[in-house]
Amino acid sequence: MCGIVGYIGSREATDVLIDGLRRLEYRGYDSAGAAVSYNNEIQIVRAEGKLKELESKITKNPLNGTLGIGHTRWATHGRPSETNAHPHRAGDIVLVHNGIIENHQKLRAYLSKKGHTFKSETDSEIAAQLIQQRMFDGLSMEKAFCKVLSEIEGSYALVVLNQKEPDRLYVARNGSPLVVGLGKNENFVASDIAALIAYTKNVIFLEDKDFGIVTRDGVKIFDGKGKQVKRPVKEVTWSRTTAEKGGYKHFMLKEIFEQPQVIADTLLGRVIQGKQGEKNQQKIILENMDALFGPKNKPIPFDKIFILACGTSYHSGLVGKYFIEEMSRLSIQVDLASEFRYRNPVIDKKTLVIGISQSGETADTLAAMTDAKKKGAKLLSICNVLESSIPRLSHATLYTRAGPEIGVASTKAFTTQLTVLLLLALYLGRRTKKMPTQDFEEALKELVRLPDRLEKMLKTFGNISQIADRHKNRSSYLYLARGANYPIALEGALKLKEISYIHAEGYAAGEMKHGPIALIDEGMPVVVVIPQDRVYEKVLSNIEEVRARGACVIALGNTGDKILQTKAQEVILVPKAPWYLTPILMSIPLQLLAYHIADKKGTDVDQPRNLAKSVTVE
């Protein structure tokens, strides 16, 4: 959702702000703005719509100066408009804000009584007016800022300029991420490291309740009690090029093609094969898992395991259930985080909650995990963003190594989540001794071969673009599968809806006759995931049922499946693989199908309407 960039140094601030905001565009927004300080005066330019609108306004009304803040806003309080766009100003105070000020009505009433008038409908403007009020009350800027932080309730990442202090940025975070990037005689602030990686690899992640002062020469950070603290400087491993399109038409397409590499990265150092014949040399090494699951010779200390997530991450959790239950015989319950947080689940000290989130900032997942932690559960997160809120809350984290995912529709983050879940299932399979050694060793070999296999497979999908062309104008799609591929059908349908705006439903193939079959009419595309596995025959019968009602079957099957060629109008083939790899293999052609349909329809593939990459509100 909203994005923040701040800069102080010797470059033209506007260039850094626009470049940084562009790198945050993927988060989703509906207006943008920037403020730059020059000669003790702060000028603000804001625009409704995309960054290019802001840029064209800046071209007409240049913002010069080497200190500035920028923002992309995803409307929560107040419609998307220029007046509601950030930065907001109250006298000398100019600020940008991410998050929600929950007591904004009370504060607005208080400030109105004091004579303040408001230009916008936002909760954020209130923070600017309140700082100004506290300075009217006689406090210094620093004290006024601290006082306001204690008065506002809710979540915030705030970056504030004071027109009278053109040598510093005031920053604070609580619940919404904020990162300081360290340069030489220049420093940066952003809501997301993607905005900074073009400039620096050294970053400081602020903790909740921290506030700080960023100057050209350094950063001073204070904790919630006002005590000066040293936060560690971390090195970011994401490279600048991973956040650029690199010749691809869209980020999403680039990210689809990055999957062999990022899956290889995710496996790196975690699968140990040892030499042939050497006993006990084949293993999975997962960071912090021994601490979480306790000594190897003791039973696992959990009697309930929940997986919580939203959207695509929820789909990977559903696949994870198949992996973990089959390999370790541990029982798993998968919940939508937004539902879990409002029911009264049975949780105690013997509960493990596995939270899955690409961004690590999804409000529902964060809240559900926070509640579970309060009730005594241990938390394990699977996440793509270093030091984001969900890993920080968790007792242990397994990072996916997908690199920055810019396309709003998740692709490589999803398949790396599946990879981590498979590693976790194999690890647990060994811990519970439910997975036979031979199967385990075979699985490790298969995993090591996977990136190469994906690389080759990606070269064979030339026909998907033609299939997309033939079916792009249909108004409704059904996606069917069974077993561990059933969540892949859900995910395939979600991808199509998100980026092409075509209605699509994913269903367990066996459930079709209990309702959705009524939808089928002449020519309706039904995408069926049908690898040659233990439910192959069953899915084949489902194909017959939909064909008999006039559906046009687009089947995703295995290379060499001659029967399928006679049953489906369109066939996409992937190499035959063990059951636990098919969800990863099958995901990729489904991503490509959605991509090509959307591209041919001309929708905004990387930033679909109404969607945000990191959903930091409920």
**Which sequence positions are flagged as catalytic?**
2, 613
Least Å distance, CB 357 to ligand AGP, is 3
Q: How many residues does the chain have?
A: 618
**What sign does the CA torsion over 423, 425, 429, 435 have?**
negative
396-399: strand order across its sheet: 332-336, 304-309, 351-357, 378-383, 396-399
Least Å distance, CB 583 to ligand AGP, is 16
Least Å distance, CB 613 to ligand AGP, is 7
The closest residue (CB) to ligand AGP is 311
Structural contact between residues 221 and 230, judged by C-beta atoms closer than 8 angstroms: yes
Q: Is 590 or 615 the residue whose CB approaches ligand AGP more closely?
A: 615
Least Å distance, CB 1 to ligand AGP, is 10
Q: Which amino acid is residue 307, in one-letter code?
A: I
- In whole angstroms, what is the distance from residue 219 CA to residue 7 CA? 12
- In whole angstroms, what is the distance from residue 323 CA to residue 303 CA? 18
- In whole angstroms, what is the distance from residue 616 CA to residue 178 CA? 13
Structural contact between residues 349 and 302, judged by C-beta atoms closer than 8 angstroms: no
Residues binding ligand AGP (CB under 6 A): 310-313, 357-359, 362, 365, 408-410, 498, 611, 614-615
Residue 69 CA, chain-centre distance (Å), reads: 24
- In whole angstroms, what is the distance from residue 349 CA to residue 563 CA? 51
Q: Is 37 or 358 the residue whose CB approaches ligand AGP more closely?
A: 358
- In whole angstroms, what is the distance from residue 549 CA to residue 546 CA? 5
Tokens 């309060």 map to which residue? 374
Structural contact between residues 615 and 549, judged by C-beta atoms closer than 8 angstroms: no
Q: Is 25 or 570 the residue whose CB approaches ligand AGP more closely?
A: 25
Write out the H or E segment, with its range, that includes residue 427: helix 412-431
Closest among 593, 574, 560 to 456, alpha carbons compared: 574
Q: Is 282 or 411 the residue whose CB approaches ligand AGP more closely?
A: 411
Least Å distance, CB 242 to ligand AGP, is 17
Least Å distance, CB 382 to ligand AGP, is 9
Least Å distance, CB 509 to ligand AGP, is 23
Q: Which amino acid is residue 314, in one-letter code?
A: Y
Q: Is 13 or 356 the residue whose CB approaches ligand AGP more closely?
A: 356
Q: Is 133 or 359 the residue whose CB approaches ligand AGP more closely?
A: 359
Eight-state DSSP code of residue 249: S
Q: Is 264 or 617 the residue whose CB approaches ligand AGP more closely?
A: 617
529 three-state secondary structure: strand
Q: Is 410 or 542 the residue whose CB approaches ligand AGP more closely?
A: 410
Closest among 196, 422, 417, 211 to 328, alpha carbons compared: 422
Eight-state DSSP code of residue 300: -
Q: Is 84 or 312 the residue whose CB approaches ligand AGP more closely?
A: 312
Eight-state DSSP code of residue 293: H
Least Å distance, CB 6 to ligand AGP, is 24
Eight-state DSSP code of residue 166: T
Q: Could you report how far apart the first and last alpha carbons of the chain are, in Å?
A: 12
Given 3-state DSSP classes, what are the helix, strand and coil percentages for the chain, each rounded to the nearest 5?
A: 40, 25, 40
345 three-state secondary structure: coil
Least Å distance, CB 14 to ligand AGP, is 30
612 three-state secondary structure: coil
